[in-house]
Structure 1
């Protein structure tokens, strides 16, 4: 969903104001952590929109979150089971007395945020690395896919309302996006019949950790909005990796964005060969990706309420992203089809060689 931008300078006062709490509650949070741990405690240099975060020594992170953004321990366990070291083991420490804040302890993941990494000099060469790692992340999720029928009683906020949200966007998005939403709505039954995979719900540069040396993906933060969704929807995050905001706050693609996009799809088809073998299936997954873009940038994030379509004049940052992310270069699509055909031929040769060996 469209969410407010976050940065390392996010105001602690704003967080406590949003929770309707006096700023003195910060000291109660600090005291709670001091009572639980013996190591040095300090505020994290990065503070998000939905939490107050403290670092305990070099290995532990403690977050205070209001009920609206409370972590689901079953969800965090699923993230750890599927993505292993990329997700932090998390424990619920309890509720801070007299407040609506819940305390969670988690393992500190290595690396720096992609947002901070991008600010380092001479890091352009690592753009390929994060795109390849994102493809591996999608393939890892696919290997743990479940059927739509299995998840009928486990669908969360987004998964349980795909059709109704598309209907809302088809009727109320700025006119230039309505046809895309309507087109996807006509295929929603087929999209929902795709394998369902565990999907990170807030794939932004601030939540992506990478090695400061290589740019390799080392972890993902903030699994509060994670849930099972049809394969492809979670690939909305690819576009966030192909550019960044300029000084005016407008998203701008990197000069090599088309090449990086092709690199992603080529890697994904190598990791999941059946995608290369079925062009219709691949086209449906790409449509699911556009659905993901619509869901994350076409629905406004109003302090956790996800029931309003973005509007011109009120949500221009998200509308600008919609315009960028939903425009696809036809030449790029054609090249991707050629990559798929080449992979099918290569896989056929490999199978033939193995059969002769047998």
Structure 2
């Protein structure tokens, strides 16, 4: 889903202003932490859009969140059960007086954020680290597949899962016209996509939420599970695009080895889920579910969590640029040829064109 930029540095005012809270509430948050814990506490140097975060010692994180961005403990517990140490154990500590803020503690995940790692000037190991994170993303998806459940067994669909058709219908009408043909193609196959196993998707797979080992690039964990929910398998693969390139001077640019990284992901995934390698039709459907994920996360405007309108030219240009890059651009991808596609080696644009022309593998 399209999200506004994260707060940076040590500026805390924007979060409290967005929550319409006086500046004194920050003191109340800090006092709550100091009263509860004996270890040294300090505000996190980089604050998220949806919370005020405090580090306690070296192993504990305390977050204060408004109702709209409250963590669901049942979801965070499920994430820990499925993904182990990649998801932080989380405890609900209660409400902070009458402020409307909910307080959570969680295990601090080691490493550095992928955003911080990319900001480094050293590039000697950049390619190997990119390969490592892509392999680990494939492992993450394979793990979710092994823990998938039937569509009918999803007890409670959340904001996105309960409105897939409505959102895609909205985009076929209102999204910039160059994307509508692809949106209609996804909408036509939505019943089959929804019949795939439903798996827990993180929901906010951004470089600032991805913790990695700075030396190897190994995935160590994911922060901020507030938007996690069960969705058809493949939808969460929208996050792969964020690993194939990065923002340069305000524009998304694919890495020179983007095609190699994409192929590496599919090779790793199919090696970990061998039953998929024998079913090219299902792989094609999963890749279309990935396109659905790209639409859901970049075609719907965030609007402080409302998620009820499509992105618009001149208003949501950052997200529209990502749709151009992810759905229409050849950047970092080999030249296109309309042909019978192979599920591992072809680019998303070739796949999309074949879907629209009826030439996708079956």
Normalised by the length of structure 2, the TM-score is 0.90
1:331 deviation in Å? 5.0
Contact 1:44/1:53 (CA < 8 Å) preserved in 2? yes
Q: Which residue of 2 aligns with 1:32?
A: 32
Change (3 A) 1:114 1:333: farther
Q: SS where residue 215 of structure 1 aligns?
A: coil
**CA–CA distance in structure 1, aligned partners of residues 281 and 192 of structure 2:** 11
Matched, 1:81 2:86: no
The C-alpha deviation readout for 1:262-307, integer Å capped at 9, x for no partner, is 1001111111112211111111000000000000000000011010
Q: Which residue of 2 aligns with 1:297?
A: 298
Q: Which residue of 2 aligns with 1:142?
A: 145
Contact 2:300/2:307 (CA < 8 Å) preserved in 1? yes
Q: Which residue of 2 aligns with 1:311?
A: 312
Q: How many residues align?
A: 339
**CA–CA distance in structure 2, aligned partners of residues 135 and 127 of structure 1:** 13
Q: Which residue of 1 aligns with 2:110?
A: 110
Q: Which residue of 2 aligns with 1:182?
A: 184
Q: Which residue of 2 aligns with 1:128?
A: 131
Q: Which residue of 2 aligns with 1:157?
A: 159
**CA–CA distance in structure 2, aligned partners of residues 73 and 198 of structure 1:** 14
Q: Which residue of 2 aligns with 1:94?
A: 94
Contact 1:110/1:218 (CA < 8 Å) preserved in 2? yes
**CA–CA distance in structure 1, aligned partners of residues 5 and 138 of structure 2:** 24
The C-alpha deviation readout for 1:294-350, integer Å capped at 9, x for no partner, is 00000000011010100000000000000111136575997971758xxxxxxxxxx
**CA–CA distance in structure 2, aligned partners of residues 75 and 182 of structure 1:** 31
**CA–CA distance in structure 1, aligned partners of residues 336 and 305 of structure 2:** 38
Contact 2:43/2:54 (CA < 8 Å) preserved in 1? yes
Out of 215, 218, 232, the position equivalent to 1:216 is 218
Q: Which structure 2 residues correspond to residues 200-211 of structure 1 after superposition, within 5 A?
A: 200-211=202-213
**CA–CA distance in structure 2, aligned partners of residues 241 and 295 of structure 1:** 18
Q: SS where residue 151 of structure 2 aligns?
A: coil
**CA–CA distance in structure 1, aligned partners of residues 100 and 214 of structure 2:** 36
Q: SS where residue 68 of structure 1 aligns?
A: helix
Matched, 1:67 2:70: no
Contact 2:284/2:343 (CA < 8 Å) preserved in 1? no
The C-alpha deviation readout for 1:217-269, integer Å capped at 9, x for no partner, is 0000000000000000000000001111112x111111111110010011111
The C-alpha deviation readout for 1:151-207, integer Å capped at 9, x for no partner, is 1x3111111110010000000000001111111000000000001111000000000
1:8 deviation in Å? 3.4
Contact 2:82/2:147 (CA < 8 Å) preserved in 1? yes
Change (3 A) 1:109 1:118: same
Normalised by the length of structure 1, the TM-score is 0.91
1:23 deviation in Å? 1.3
Q: SS where residue 153 of structure 2 aligns?
A: coil
Q: Which residue of 1 aligns with 2:280?
A: 279
1:46 deviation in Å? 1.4
Out of 342, 353, 356, the position equivalent to 1:337 is 342
- Runs of 4+ residues deviating >4 angstroms: 328-336
The C-alpha deviation readout for 1:120-173, integer Å capped at 9, x for no partner, is 21241310000000000000000000000111x311111111001000000000
Contact 1:60/1:108 (CA < 8 Å) preserved in 2? yes
Contact 1:210/1:219 (CA < 8 Å) preserved in 2? yes
What's the Cα RMSD here?
A: 1.8
1:4 deviation in Å? 1.0
**CA–CA distance in structure 2, aligned partners of residues 258 and 34 of structure 1:** 49
Q: Which runs of 5+ in 1 are unaligned?
A: 341-358
Q: SS where residue 2 of structure 2 aligns?
A: coil
